[in-house]
């Protein structure tokens, strides 16, 4: 894929973009991190929420990564379109709808990691993940093959398309330094759109020592790979329904 695919859409299917950082440890206790961080972002992120979710525990004191239930503190923007999530060695910047463009999202990520580094003093990067989640509406009786170049090959003996469905694929990039996880799955129905597909791209850095301080440069590369994958996965007729326009 080349730059000819660099287009914007008037009606993009994107519902959420997020960037997740995991660190081996932080130099400051968690309760102090939360207090200091809130002092710096309260004006733009006044609402504080606590949630529990499934996460991965890792670090120098943990023999091997383990799936655990982790508590996250969320700082929510005034318009509830942006979140900053903090957990044990975890930082996540979430951009919900409306998503303006990558440059604005990149600036949000940079501001978030800068203030987090200042208050938490993290040590040892474990991983980074840049993720884009799309919801693509389906017309009645429309098949997945009409929308996607990637997906299932259904034998002719089957009378219908699968429903529900979940397809997860991993692709290696940059000599196994990075990986891209693509998920194609049934989307939860909305009242005004009962049938839709979730197309989820998660581009992750699995060998963090190779990039040292080049986090933003890595994110630019990750975004480009996701953008290429997005266009490669979707048929031209479906892309046109998003109303492309020249950049």
- Mean pLDDT of all residues in 137-150: 90
3-state secondary structure (DSSP) of residue 13: coil
| Confidence at 200, pLDDT banded by 50, 70, 90 | very high
Asked whether the predicted pLDDT for residue 58 surpasses 80, the reply is no
91 within 8 A of 113, measured Cβ to Cβ = yes
Phi and psi angles of residue 78, each rounded to the nearest 5 degrees, phi first: -60, -40
Residue 156 pLDDT greater than 50, yes or no? yes
pLDDT at 62: 47
- Calculate the alpha carbon distances from 52 to 69, 71, 88, 247 in Å: 7, 4, 12, 40
For residues 190 and 163, give the distance between their C-alpha atoms in angstroms, rounded to a whole number: 16
Alpha helix positions (H), 90-158 = 102-120
Q: Say if residue 56's pLDDT is above 90.
A: no
pTM of the model: 0.89
What share of residues in the chain are helix, strand, coil (percent, to 5)?
25, 40, 35
111/149 Cα distance (integer angstroms): 37
In this structure, of 1-15, 123-137, 174-188, the range with the lowest mean pLDDT score is 1-15
Looking at per-residue pLDDT, the higher value among 190 and 77 belongs to 77
- Spatial neighbors of 71 by CB under 8 A, at least 6 apart, are 50, 51, 52, 87
pLDDT at 214: 83
Domain boundaries, the chain: 3-246
Name, of 123-127, 142-146, 171-175, 208-212, the range with top average pLDDT: 171-175
């Amino acid at each position: 894929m080349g730059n000819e695919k660099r287009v914007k859409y008037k009606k993009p299917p994107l519902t959420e973009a997020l960037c997740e950082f995991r660190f081996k440890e932080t130099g400051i206790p968690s309760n102090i991190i939360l207090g200091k961080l809130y002092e710096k972002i309260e004006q733009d992120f006044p609402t504080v929420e606590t949630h529990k979710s499934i996460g991965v525990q890792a670090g120098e004191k943990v023999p091997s990564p383990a799936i655990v239930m982790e508590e996250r503190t969320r700082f929510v923007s005034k318009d509830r379109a942006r979140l900053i999530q903090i957990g044990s060695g975890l930082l996540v910047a979430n951009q919900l709808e409306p998503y303006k463009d990558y440059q604005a999202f990149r600036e949000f990520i940079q501001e978030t990691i800068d203030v987090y580094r200042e208050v938490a003093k993290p040590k040892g990067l474990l991983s980074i993940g840049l993720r884009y989640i799309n919801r693509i509406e389906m017309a009645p009786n429309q098949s997945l093959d009409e929308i996607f170049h990637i997906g299932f090959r259904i034998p002719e003996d089957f009378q219908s398309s699968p429903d529900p469905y979940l397809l997860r694929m991993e692709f290696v990039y940059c000599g196994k330094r990075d990986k891209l996880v693509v998920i194609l799955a049934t989307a939860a129905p909305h009242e005004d759109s009962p049938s839709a597909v979730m197309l989820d791209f998660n581009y992750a850095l699995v060998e963090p020592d190779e990039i040292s301080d080049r986090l933003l440069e890595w994110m630019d590369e990750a975004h480009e790979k996701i953008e290429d994958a997005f266009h490669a996965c979707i048929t031209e007729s479906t892309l046109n329904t998003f109303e492309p326009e020249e950049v």
